[in-house]
Amino acid sequence: MPEFDREKKIIFSGIQPTGVFTLGNYLGAVRNWGTLQDEYNCIYSIVDLHAITVRQEPSKLRQNSLQAYALLLACGIDPKKSIAFFQSHNKCHAELNWVLACSTQFGELSRMTQFKDKSKKHADDVNAGLFTYPVLMAADILAYNADLVPIGADQKQHLELARNVAGRFNNKYGEFFKLPEPYIPPVGASVKSLADPTKKMSKSDENQNATVYILDDKDTIIRKFKRAVTDSETEICYREGKDGINNLMSIYSCVTGKTYDEIESEFASKGYGDFKLAVGEAVADYLKPVRDDFSRLIADKAYLKECYTSGAESAMRITNRILSKVYHKVGFVDAR
């Protein structure tokens, strides 16, 4: 069980169990979660409550959730250092969600771009959960009074909302919540779809060629990069308007540590075909250890259960105290 150090700041982040993590999830969020474990008190959650804001087949959700937990560990989250658990195992998230919903305005939720996108995509099921999704995300973070939230660029607006909700609660009831800061990586914060580089790469894209999954094998990864949409020019350089090449350059930079200048010189006399192959190979090699660890972990269900059970217990120990204080502040009669 992780021993939290009072001197260190608190980190919270979450990922939905909506499928195998993508290269975007990994570079934009999850790989950073691992590197932050020594410097911070880290809490990471598989946010299954969030996942049901779009329709899920129950047996598939359960399978995806276990898989997501194993992926989290395979990506380097060490359950001895960090708290790693399922959101639905700690009821405080849903309870705080309600309290915070009463400090959230209809107008501000209506402005969320993820809601607009997802309600277009799932026009037959624009449910209240999809609308209030960011309130639950605020509850996830504030239930631990987290200082820092490592996320991809697409979640910045939700974090802004969480800060506003926290501020509004503090104004109503007296200073209590910290205003959490986003931690968005300098490169990799917005990995684009390989089929349409103006769109973000997403777990739930129907086009399999648009997305690199972190469990894809080497041949599949190379094939997807070979097909990546670019432009009709020939020069490999980072420039406005070259969305496809810019995306490949930022991915290559993330996995090799090379700067854009170094990449431009490396491919100065080469074509897009060579570059795509190099990116595919570099990504496949980079992801290989994750794939190997995943195969080992997913086979050991007893170990996974031990980890997520103790993770939820540690999570509840923190949030029970915070939630009791919140209930007292809003004027509920103390339960004991």
Answer for which of 155, 230, 250, 253 binds ligand ATP (CB under 6 A) is 155
Are 27 and 188 in contact by the 8 Å Cβ rule? The answer is: yes
Give the shortest CB-289-to-ligand ATP separation in angstroms.
Answer: 20
For position 22 contacting ligand ATP by CB under 6 A, the verdict is: yes
Half-sphere exposure of 231 (CA within 13 A, CB side): 18
Tokens 């997403």 label which residue?
Answer: 202
Q: How many residues line the site for ligand ATP (CB under 6 A)?
A: 20
Q: How far, CA to CA in Å, does 173 sit from each of 280, 318, 322?
A: 53, 21, 14
Concatenating the DSSP letter of every residue in 62-124 gives HHHHHHHHHHHHHTT--TTTSEEEEGGG-THHHHHHHHHHTTS-HHHHHT-HHHHHHHHHTTT
Residue 204 touches which of ligand LTN, ligand ATP, none (Cβ within 5-8 Å per kind)? ligand ATP
16 versus 104: smaller Cβ distance to ligand LTN: 16
d(CA 217, CA 261): 29
Q: Give the nearest residue (CB) to ligand LTN.
A: 14
Of the ranges 51-59, 135-143, 209-217, 323-331, which one interacts with ligand LTN (CB under 6 A)? 135-143
Whichever of 97 and 230 has its CB closer to ligand LTN, that residue is 97
Provide the minimum distance between the beta carbon of 254 and ligand LTN in the complex, in angstroms, as a whole number.
18
If binding is defined by CB under 6 A, does position 151 make contact with ligand LTN?
Answer: yes
3-state helix, strand, coil in the chain (%, to 5): 55, 10, 35
Among 31, 158, 203, 242, binds ligand LTN (CB under 6 A): 158
Q: Contact between 12 and ligand LTN (CB under 6 A)? A: yes
3-state class (DSSP) for residue 1: coil
Distance, CA of 269 to CA of 258 (rounded, Å):
18
Work out whether 202 is an interface residue with ligand ATP (CB under 6 A): yes
141 binds ligand LTN (CB under 6 A): yes
Q: Is 147 in the site for ligand LTN (CB under 6 A)?
A: no
Tell the smallest beta-carbon distance from residue 25 to ligand LTN (Å): 8
Shortest approach of ligand LTN to residue 2 CB, angstroms?
Answer: 18
| Of 137, 249, 213, 217, the residue nearest 182 (C-alpha) | 137
Instruction: Based on the residue annotation, tell me whether 121 is a catalytic residue of this protein.
Output: no
Is residue 49 close enough to count as binding ligand LTN by CB under 6 A? no
Only one of the segments 10-18, 216-224, 229-237, 299-307 lies at the binding site for ligand LTN (rule: CB under 6 A); that segment is: 10-18
Locus of tokens 């009791």: 324
Closest CA to 15 of 73, 57, 58: 73
Catalytic pick from 178, 203, 242, 276? 203
Query: How buried is residue 310: exposed, middle or buried, by Cβ count under 10 Å (0-12/13-18/19+)?
Result: middle
Instruction: Tokens 């648009």: give the residue.
Output: 210
Given the residues 178, 192, 200, 242, the one annotated as active site: 200
152 binds ligand ATP (CB under 6 A): yes
Is 203 tagged catalytic? yes
Got the DSSP string for 203-236? TT-S-GGG--BTT--HHHHHHHHHT----S----
Q: Which does 137 bind (CB under 5 to 8 A by kind): ligand ATP, ligand LTN, none?
A: ligand LTN
223 phi/psi in degrees, rounded to 5:
-60, -45
Whether 118 sits among the annotated catalytic residues: the reply is yes
Contact residues: ligand ATP, CB under 6 A: 15-16, 18, 22, 24-25, 28-29, 151-152, 154-155, 189-191, 200-204
The residues assigned a catalytic role are 118, 200, 203
